[in-house]
């Protein structure tokens, strides 16, 4: 929900970790996307910073490589974009590296009254704290704004997340830290607010009186290819459930914010998350993928640096409960996994059966399906007469697809927010704390000695056996 603020004049954006995967695949292409939309002010400068000694030309090659120019007009814009960019090598390490960065900031902002510095930490989490200390010591602007942008993981449980926060606090105020969750930059996730609060028809039925259950799935067809070591220490719960999925859940269920200002939005999300009870292990199905049935695709344990006795969860289905008046009694089915039969992020809001079920035959409960990706769209299943001479009904879809509409990349939206200083899509400290509180007991159980073996499922299948029974047995309990 971008506010009507603009990127300040005299701003330099520094990408720390400019030679890394995130910078190459997402940040530079995202920034070029903003260039193409003419959303970057003329005087905005971008500095890449990394340990490599690299020429300007090699750095520009990194930027250009993933960019596909769909029209000749964009070639001119790419040239303009590259002219904004320069590179500083941090190969000398320590203070010297940051003195070199400071020197570049001074050159770029020479003669400016105001100086605004923005630092994107596209770095391994282990160096977030020392690097942020160095930035404060050498590169903090005394005559303008300085902000850091950080990426998940924000810790690996509640305690370590608080610890990270405690180490950032002496140098960076909460309003100087932008925490990225790239799902908050996705178009359909943003649209949840308009869908819920901009449409009278949904406002009055968005509660346990009318909604039977809600299901949120983030499933992926690919496995942990090449990221075995990272994934083995992370698992699917930390990788996508504690962050991306929890943010979707909060936007879907929070009360209406007073306004769409960042404070009001984050207040409501944090309040909602406080109502979610920590997830119990006996309300989950934990799985790990084995080889595909044809033996072509590897098991998780075949990945490099994954030990044979790994109990890492590459799949998790869980039931969450929200204890407030609006949602009491509604089960929230959360499902995430790698190496499944398809890739999609989807929300299904299952409404209760109509009380008129006895009048018509074949009535199905209404269902709202929100496709976050791919094939972005919103579908409402309603009952309708079949055009015939009989009194027959069928379920049809009211279809609101995004087909043919141009959808900005999530990183474009979030980079623009961060540069503008709009925090409405940044994850606030209290939200982060509340989301770790929901998952930490389960994570500690799974990491502990008493933990269970994950259920096996074949690469490319729908997940571990017993999933449907698990969900339906839960529905029967109600």
Active site residues per annotation:
244
From residue 421, alpha-carbon distances to 177, 306, 409, 414, 473 in Å are 10, 40, 19, 10, 47
- Contact call for residue 220 and ligand NDP (CB under 6 A): no
Q: Is 296 helix (H, G, I), strand (E, B) or coil?
A: coil
Q: Is 19 helix (H, G, I), strand (E, B) or coil?
A: coil
Contact stretch for ligand NDP (CB under 6 A) within 14-22, 165-173, 243-251, 309-317: 14-22
Q: Which of 212, 239, 267, 429 binds ligand BG6 (CB under 6 A)?
A: 239
Rounded CA-CA distance 476/183 in Å is 33
CB-wise, 89 or 345, nearer to ligand BG6? 345
- Contact call for residue 220 and ligand BG6 (CB under 6 A): yes
CB-wise, 380 or 432, nearer to ligand NDP? 432
- Contact call for residue 240 and ligand BG6 (CB under 6 A): yes
Q: 400 - beta bridge partners?
A: 378
- Contact call for residue 50 and ligand NDP (CB under 6 A): yes
Q: Which of 14, 17, 411, 426 binds ligand NDP (CB under 6 A)?
A: 17
- Contact call for residue 233 and ligand NDP (CB under 6 A): no
Q: 89 - beta bridge partners?
A: 50
Cβ partners under 8 Å of residue 296, min gap 6: none
Cβ partners under 8 Å of residue 387, min gap 6: none
Which of 232, 223, 221 is closest to 306 using CA atoms?
Answer: 232
Considering only residues 109 to 138 of the shown chain, the ones binding ligand NDP according to CB under 6 A are: 122-125, 127
Query: How many residues does this entry show for the chain?
Result: 478
CB-wise, 211 or 240, nearer to ligand BG6? 240
CB-wise, 117 or 152, nearer to ligand NDP? 152
Q: Is 477 helix (H, G, I), strand (E, B) or coil?
A: helix
- Torsion, Cα 99 104 108 109, to 10 degrees, reads 0
Q: How many binding residues for ligand BG6 (CB under 6 A)? A: 5
CB-wise, 90 or 235, nearer to ligand NDP? 90
- Contact call for residue 19 and ligand NDP (CB under 6 A): yes
What is the phi-psi region of residue 178: left when phi exceeds 0, alpha when psi lies from -120 to 50, beta otherwise? Answer: beta
CB-wise, 86 or 243, nearer to ligand BG6? 243
Q: Which residue has the tokens 């790698």?
A: 338
- Contact call for residue 226 and ligand NDP (CB under 6 A): no
Q: Residue 22's binding partner, choosing from ligand NDP, ligand BG6, none, with beta-carbon cut-off 5 to 8 A by kind?
A: ligand NDP
C-beta nearest to ligand NDP: residue: 20
Smallest distance from ligand BG6 to CB 381, Å: 25
Which of 52, 63, 66, 68 is closest to 85 using CA atoms?
Answer: 63
Residues at the contact surface with ligand BG6, assessed by CB under 6 A: 182, 220, 239-240, 345
Q: Which residues of this chain interact with ligand NDP, rule CB under 6 A?
A: 17-23, 25-26, 50-52, 90, 122-125, 127, 151-153
């Amino acid at each position: 929900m971008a506010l009507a603020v603009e990127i300040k004049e005299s701003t330099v954006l520094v990408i720390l970790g400019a030679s890394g995967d995130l910078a190459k695949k997402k940040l530079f292409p995202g920034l070029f996307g903003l260039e193409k939309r003419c959303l970057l002010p003329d005087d905005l400068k971008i500095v890449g910073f990394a340990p490599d000694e690299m020429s300007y030309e090699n750095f520009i090659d990194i930027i250009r490589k993933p960019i596909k120019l769909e029209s000749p007009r964009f070639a001119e814009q790419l040239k303009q974009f590259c002219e904004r960019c320069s590179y500083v090598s941090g190969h000398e390490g320590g203070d010297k590296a940051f003195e070199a960065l400071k020197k570049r900031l001074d050159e770029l902002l020479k003669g400016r009254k105001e100086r605004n510095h923005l630092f994107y930490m596209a770095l391994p989490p282990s160096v977030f704290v020392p690097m942020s200390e160095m930035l404060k010591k050498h590169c903090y602007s005394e005559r303008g704004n300085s902000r850091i942008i950080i990426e998940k993981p924000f810790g690996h449980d509640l305690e370590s997340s608080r610890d990270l926060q405690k180490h950032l606090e002496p140098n960076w105020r909460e309003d100087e830290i932008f925490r990225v969750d790239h799902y908050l930059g996705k178009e359909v996730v943003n649209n949840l607010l308009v869908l819920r609060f901009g449409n009278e028809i949904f406002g009055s039925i968005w509660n346990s009186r009318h909604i039977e259950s809600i299901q949120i799935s983030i499933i992926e067809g690919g496995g942990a290819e090449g990221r075995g070591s990272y994934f083995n220490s992370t698992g699917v719960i930390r990788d996508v459930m504690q962050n991306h999925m929890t943010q979707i859940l909060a936007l879907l269920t929070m009360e209406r914010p007073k306004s769409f200002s960042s404070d009001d939005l984050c207040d409501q999300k944090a309040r909602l998350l406080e109502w979610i009870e920590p997830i119990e292990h006996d309300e989950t199905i934990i799985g790990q993928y084995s080889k595909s049935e044809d033996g072509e695709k590897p098991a998780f344990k075949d990945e490099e640096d994954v030990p044979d006795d790994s109990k890492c969860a590459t799949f998790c289905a869980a039931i969450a409960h929200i204890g407030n008046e609006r949602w009491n009694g509604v089960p929230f089915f959360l499902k995430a996994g790698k190496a499944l039969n398809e890739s999609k992020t989807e929300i299904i809001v299952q409404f209760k059966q109509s009380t008129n079920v006895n009048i018509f035959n074949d009535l199905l409960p209404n269902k709202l399906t929100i496709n976050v990706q791919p094939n972005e769209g919103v579908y409402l299943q309603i009952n309708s007469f079949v055009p015939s001479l009989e009194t027959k009904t069928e379920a049809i879809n009211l279809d609101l697809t995004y087909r043919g509409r141009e959808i900005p990349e999530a990183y474009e939206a979030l980079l623009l927010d961060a540069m503008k200083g709009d925090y409405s899509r940044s994850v606030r400290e209290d939200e982060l704390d509340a989301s770790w509180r929901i998952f930490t007991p389960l994570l500690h159980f799974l990491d502990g000695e008493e933990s269970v073996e994950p259920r096996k499922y074949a690469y490319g299948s729908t997940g571990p056996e017993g999933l449907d029974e698990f969900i339906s047995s839960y529905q029967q309990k109600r």
